[in-house]
Amino acid sequence: MTTAHGEVRTPVFMPVGTQGTVKAMTPDWLKEAGAGIILGNTYHLYLRPGHELIREHGGLHRFMHWDRPILTDSGGFQIFSLGPLRRITEEGVHFQSHIDGSRHFLSPERAIEIQEALGSDIMMCFDDCTPYPAERAYVEKSMALTHRWARRCRDAKKSPDQALFGIVQGGVHRDLRQASVEALTAIGFDGYAVGGLSVGEPKDLMMETVEATVPLLPAGQARYLMGVGTPEDLVEGVRHGIDLFDCVMPTRCARNGLLFTNHGKVVIKNARYRNDQAPLDEACDCYTCRNFSRAYLRHLFIAREILALMLNTIHNVRFYLALMERIRTAIAGGVFEDFRRTFGERRHDEDAGPVPEGRMDETMKTEEEDES
């Protein structure tokens, strides 16, 4: 993809910088890890510090000292997460801030206005994120509202240098997903996202929906699977034709001591690593793996040192980005299916316990929940 702030090689994973920062990472560390594009969020940056302040500081790129591309989510998922604190109408959404309880209103036009003030390279349409499970009648109504809002977003867009992506909804119903693709492509967007997934549905149903939806999207335009996911999800998503991914999983898991490696996940607090002199992942070239042992990483995490969060995050982000580099190389060499097969065969978790499932937001939980 070509953007105002440079080219992006796809398929690509976008580290999540919800509030103008990828947690526990500096912009230089992100570049060293191989990040070509990151994600910011309209809802959070609107509430704090405010999009007008960011505009006055030259836009989000300058404000956060990031000169590579940025995609901004519209805030639809965050407002969906507010539950009883929000009320959806035809005009938009009335909601209370999760920070201080103040009341706000966000419409499709307002979402575009905020994203244009932020100056992101790719803006997302404001959509109604459909929950799971939901009655078919509700899914249809929600999807139709997303389509009407999408047209209003398209009409409100003024900036010629910012791309705008439509978001396909329709729950897990194949015919509704097809109807959504047809409605959005009739409006016309620069790219298309598959939304409304990783919200509680079974993993196999999520991938079945992706498999049914992606072939319907226009060839030659970016396809973005929102809020997904595990390393295995990325590999399977690419298999089905997805170009862009984002998820807080690598950063949030890092802060909670769950680390991804080429052989599976490692829960670094476990006693088995107390005297382990090996690097976290011998095949990883990140700063953490080049310089520190598992024993040291465990010590930092048990001692609740800030450096633990930083070193863990450096590794997890690099692991995800290196995985995408290997995927791109495999595609270019015509051996992706071989890569996909061997990737699954060589991964075995060193530590028991599931990786968190479902789409997560980086800031909507309390510190106590984040520590658990």
CATH of the domain at 62: 3.20.20.105
State which of 230, 248, 266 marks the end of a domain: 248
Mean pLDDT of the chain: 94
Predicted local confidence at residue 331, as pLDDT: 98
Q: What is the percentage of the chain residues whose pLDDT exceeds 70?
A: 95
- Given a cut of 50, is residue 256 above it in pLDDT? yes
State which of 216, 248, 280 marks the end of a domain: 248
271 shares a domain with 191: no
Catalytic residue among 73, 127, 233, 361: 73
Catalytic residue among 121, 127, 243, 246: 246
- Given a cut of 90, is residue 366 above it in pLDDT? no
What is the biggest distance separating any 2 CA atoms in the chain, rounded to whole angstroms?
61
Predicted local confidence at residue 350, as pLDDT: 79
279 shares a domain with 169: no
Predicted local confidence at residue 357, as pLDDT: 63
- Given a cut of 70, is residue 13 above it in pLDDT? yes
258 shares a domain with 239: no
As a whole number, mean pLDDT of residues 349-368 equals 62
Catalytic (active site) residue 276: no
152 shares a domain with 283: no
Give the tens place of pLDDT for each residue, 331-355.
Answer: 999 999 999 999 988 777 778 666 7
Range of the domain at 198: 2-248
Rg (CA), the chain: 20
Contacts of 203 (CB under 8 A, 6+ apart): 233, 357
Gap between the Cα atoms of 98 and 78, Å rounded = 10
Gap between the Cα atoms of 224 and 254, Å rounded = 24
Predicted local confidence at residue 370, as pLDDT: 40
Catalytic (active site) residue 246: yes
Predicted local confidence at residue 92, as pLDDT: 98
Predicted local confidence at residue 345, as pLDDT: 84
Give the tens place of pLDDT for each residue, 160-208.
Answer: 999 999 999 999 999 999 999 999 999 999 999 999 999 999 999 999 9
- Given a cut of 80, is residue 368 above it in pLDDT? no
78 shares a domain with 45: yes
Predicted local confidence at residue 347, as pLDDT: 75
Predicted local confidence at residue 249, as pLDDT: 97
Give the tens place of pLDDT for each residue, 208-225.
Answer: 999 999 999 999 999 999
State which of 213, 231, 248 marks the end of a domain: 248
Predicted local confidence at residue 146, as pLDDT: 98
134 shares a domain with 230: yes
- Given a cut of 70, is residue 363 above it in pLDDT? no
Confidence bin at 369 (pLDDT 50/70/90): very low
Amino acid at 256: N
Query: pTM for this structure?
Result: 0.95
As a whole number, mean pLDDT of residues 137-145 equals 98
Give the tens place of pLDDT for each residue, 313-330.
Answer: 999 999 999 999 999 999
Predicted local confidence at residue 355, as pLDDT: 72
Between CA 331 and CA 336, with CA 335 as vertex, the angle to 5 degrees is 55
Give the tens place of pLDDT for each residue, 32-79.
Answer: 999 999 999 999 999 999 999 999 999 999 999 999 999 999 998 998
Predicted local confidence at residue 80, as pLDDT: 87
240 shares a domain with 305: no
The number of distinct structural domains making up the chain is 2
Give the tens place of pLDDT for each residue, 301-316.
Answer: 999 999 999 999 999 9
- The DSSP bridge pattern shows strands 86-88 and 93-96 to be antiparallel
292 shares a domain with 238: no
Confidence bin at 140 (pLDDT 50/70/90): very high
188 shares a domain with 103: yes
156 shares a domain with 283: no
137 shares a domain with 283: no
Predicted local confidence at residue 178, as pLDDT: 98
257 shares a domain with 358: yes
